[in-house]
Amino acid sequence: MTLLSSRPARPVEPALLSKALEVAGRLANDATDVITATAGRGARPETGDTPFDWVTDTERILERHTRRVLTAEFPGVPVVGEEFGADLGADVAEYRWVVDPVDGTANYVAGMPWCAFSLALVDSSGPVVGVIADPYRGQIYAAARGRGARANGTPVRLSGEPVRTTGAIICTELGRGGAWPGMAGFIEQASAAHAGVRVLGSAALSVAQVALGHAGAAVLHSYHEWDVAGAVALAIESGAVVMDRHGEGNALPSDGLLVAAPGLAEVVLDWWRGTALSRG
């Protein structure tokens, strides 16, 4: 098992880190105001490919606003967003912004208090800066490479103390088509180890719970970069383990994502890989 922390990340100019944190924090506060003012109040969803694959006016408005600000503040840095796709050259640029204006749209539309705004600056090593707005809890979570993670300005760091499976909360999310292959077996293994699995409807907040020390691990069988890049920045800076389904350290792997407290990473990885192998 290769921990992400064993792989050096590219250095980033301090001035860029500071400016990116400031601008992303401002945008997260803007998003908090919009989401709390509109959630569950005539959001006018447009149904996509599945009954819960919704797009709302709020998402479009927030992403347009985010793109305008980022383009003005960081000219030449492309933006990749859930609603409007990738700017030209985003796949080869030194840096790119990735944004999900409302992660947890179905919850937002229903007025359930569990959704987030996610924004991250990313380079070839992974997230450089990540900011998550957790509107219903009045929290802004922010992290920058080498500068640690904070929740409303208060430093966040995992204790490093041993974590037991008994009583641990393990987060996961459904795929576009529902339960992911092996998910039932994964839940059974967690239950047998006296851990509880939660499917809460926001990949960004699921990963953030690990960084904050509320959950022991989060497993995402599949995801989009904009869903998790901001939260992965928090996880890395808080001391969590970040890896792919093969146990290799990778900040934004292409084949599934595991984020875990160090003491739980290996056992949760075994549950995940075991259920996949059992399906052939």
Residue 161 labelled as part of a binding site: no
Residue 270 labelled as part of a binding site: no
Cα angle at 58 between 40 and 105, to 5 degrees?
Answer: 60
HEC letters along 69-103: HHHHHCCCCCEEECCCEECCCCCCCCCEEEEEEEE
180 vs 178: CA distance, rounded Å: 6
Between strands 241-243 and 126-134, the pairing is unpaired
Closest CA to 84 of 60, 108, 102: 60
Residue 100 labelled as part of a binding site: yes
Q: How far is CA 243 from CA 44, 101, 218, 249, in A?
A: 37, 25, 11, 4
CA dihedral 99, 235, 222, 112 (to 10 degrees): -70
Residue 244 labelled as part of a binding site: no
Token pair belonging to 87? 């700017």
* Secondary structure class of 30 (helix, strand, coil): helix
3-state helix, strand, coil in the chain (%, to 5): 35, 25, 40
Token pair belonging to 164? 């037991």
Alpha helices in the chain (DSSP H): 14-38, 57-73, 105-110, 183-192, 203-211, 225-238, 265-278
210 vs 228: CA distance, rounded Å: 12
Q: Which residue, chain included where needed, has tokens 């709302």?
A: 56
Which residues contribute to the annotated binding site? Answer: 82, 100, 103, 227
Which residues contribute to the annotated binding site for Mg(2+)? Answer: 82, 100, 103, 227
